A and B are shown apart, each in its own frame.
Chain A
Amino acid sequence: MISVDHVTKTYGTFTAVDDVTFTARPGRITGFLGPNGAGKSTTLRVLVGLTPPDHGAAHVLGRRFRDLPNPGMEVGVLLDASAQHAGRTGREVLTIAQRTMGLRSDRVHEVLDVVGLSEAEAGRRLRDYSLGMRQRLGLAHALLGDPEVLILDEPANGLDPAGIRWMRDLLRGYADRGSTVLLSSHLLHEIEVVADDLVVIGQGRVVAADTKADLLAGAGTHVATRHPAALAAALTSAGVTHHSTNPSVNGRGLAVTVLRVEADSETVGQLASTAGVALTELRAADGAGLEEMFLALTADTQRDRQPAAHNTSPQGALA
């Protein structure tokens, strides 16, 4: 259980974290999502006591982090996999943590196994580690004390696709047995597949926080047809809100118009059937919808301005 209550942190006139409040619940993976510089890392540093907040407080397992008697045994933290002495071997980094926590020494061997680092790799110095190996070592460091809360900042950075899949399975396993997992990312697709709950942050403020299912439910339905006018008329007469996106060309060179409809697939299918409109595609606008939401929510906080958010759905348009 993690709770962040009204945390604010300013640097001079710059507000890095602005009144951020959210909770991460046990048995669930909470994705902490936001563009670069949105305040994710600062929030996580406040959470583990490395950065003093100007206002507000953060609690892990009902206590302030500094009040945990042996934090590594209750909270596994990975903030930056590269933040270790470059001259130490991987095994030595883990041994230091193992001794600090007062764990059995064979625990180091066990977590190396869990994260898939070989004994030979563990004997190499960190300056010779790839980013992916550092992430695995950082995860081993976080898992060492067998904690019931995991706080991971961009853990998938530098992992190959198989590594990302492996990490996802590992975190799912932890959440399924009741642990609280909070992981941050600036990559929507990475978080979307693994998280149960989402907290979206932009410009230091929480812009959305809900279960993934609820956030997706608001994303509506994705429909494609070659008779957009007829479908639009049917939808309008049924009082269903819809947006037309740019016409695109399907595999046979025929124009297909994609609509985003704020109703579930069944309703849209029924309306289309009643109106006698043939559909070329009908599905819940899950990924694309969340991406649009993410881009829209963070549009004014993005360094790179996106063109009108509801018109961008490249995957859907080309499907």
Chain B
Amino acid sequence: MTTETTPRATPAQASDRPVHVPSEPIDGQGAPQARTAPAAIPVRRLVGVELRKSFDTRSGQWLLASLGLAAILTTGAILAWPPADQLTYSEFTLAIGVPMTIILPIIAVLSVTSEWSQRSGLATFTLVPHRGRVLVAKGVAAVMVTVPATAAAFGIGALGNLSGSALAGVDPVWDQAWVDVGYFALGQTLLLLTGFVLGALIRNSSGAIVAYMLYGFVAPGLLAFLAFSQQWFADARPWVDAKYNQDALLRGALTGDGWSHLAATSALWLVIPMVFAVLNVLRSEVK
């Protein structure tokens, strides 16, 4: 990171109260000194700051730690109660992915809503009076968290697969290719961005988390029931149900038309709400 400080004396070094600021010569205009205009703040620096802000509180550290903890607990549960047929690598990675579909979006939700719920936005948006840039930095920072999460899922899943097959006395089955890692990361990213958009739309931590839970865990059950009882909805479902396609993507089961369905539902449920959310954040008053 570059530092653009003007060569000036710092205000004071004394540690006792009261502190007097050493006077500097004042020119005729009363301006302190000719200053060079500071350089603009690059978005790259903001991404670093936003990443730091996501994990510099206890709750943020717990969320980060819970990504790994949940992966280990899930793996342990599979080893303790193995399924009837033979264990495969994908059973571990997919099971580990489930708690991540909750934790990653919560991280994204809080990175946006805490600026309002905790009112830190007052400082954030005065230091960077371009809210669009702050939102981009937050989005990029949140998406970056899927990288260690994906690595943890496949790393811990591999250890689980090795242990499981050793316990059963059989050769491990490696049924995941590199492309599956990509599907997993993309699926998690889409869910995380859904959380991000809900956070920016609702701008209240608990409200946005509840909305995400409805989206991720209540709505799919209701929609599955509707598809089961109504044939017309069963036919239309891939074109309107975003979570349905995202789950298929996470499983690596998206083929052919599936990608069109994913694109359509992402445009409807992710891109359009994001436009509204961003406009809302740009226009709203920060108090």
Chain A residues with a Cβ under 8 A of chain B: 25-27, 45, 48-52, 65-66, 68-74, 77, 79-80, 82-88, 92-93, 95-97, 99-104, 107, 110-111, 113-116, 141, 143, 146, 148, 162-163, 165-166, 169-170, 173-174, 176-179
Contacts and interface: CB of A to CB of B under 8 A. Distances in A.
Contacts of A26: 29-32
Interface centre among B40, B49, B119, B127 (most CB of A within 10 A): B127
Given A170-B19, A177-B24, A87 B58 contact: yes
A169 B19 contact: yes
B48 interface: yes
A152 to B, nearest CB: 12
B4 A80 contact: no
Contacts of B283: 52
Contact of A99 (B16, B49, B59, B285): B49
Given A79-B126, A86-B118, A103-B3, A170 B21 contact: yes
B56 interface: yes
B127 A72 contact: yes
A176 B26 CA distance: 8
Interface stretch (B5-13, B75-83, B257-265, B271-279): B5-13
Contacts of B2: 102
Q: SS class of chain B's interface: helix, strand, loop or mixed?
A: loop
A225 to B, nearest CB: 41
Contact of B119 (A83, A174, A178): A83
Given A72-B127, A110-B10, A177-B24, 10 more contacts: A74-B35, A79-B122, A85-B120, A87-B60, A100-B128, A116-B17, A146-B6, A163-B17, A170-B21, A173-B23
Contact of A107 (B10, B12, B32, B41): B10
B32 A179 contact: yes
How many of chain B's residues touch chain A, expressed as a range? 35 or more
A148 B6 CA distance: 12
A7 B260 CA distance: 50
Contacts of A88: 56-57
A69 B285 contact: no
A198 to B, nearest CB: 18
Which of B59, B121, B126, B286 has most chain A Cβ within 10 Å?
A: B126
A70 B41 contact: yes
10 contacts: A70-B38, A79-B122, A83-B119, A83-B120, A99-B48, A100-B49, A103-B5, A166-B17, A169-B20, A178-B33
B12 A114 contact: yes
Contact of A50 (B58, B120, B125): B125
Contact of A176 (B23, B31, B57, B286): B23
A45 B1 contact: no
A110 B14 CA distance: 9
B37 interface: yes
- Taking each of A115, A141, A162, A173, which has the highest tally of chain B beta carbons within 10 Å of its own beta carbon? A173
Contacts of B122: 50, 79-80, 83
A146 B30 contact: no
B26 A177 contact: yes
A25 B30 contact: yes
Contact of A84 (B10, B58, B118): B118
Contacts of B48: 99
Contacts of A170: 18-21
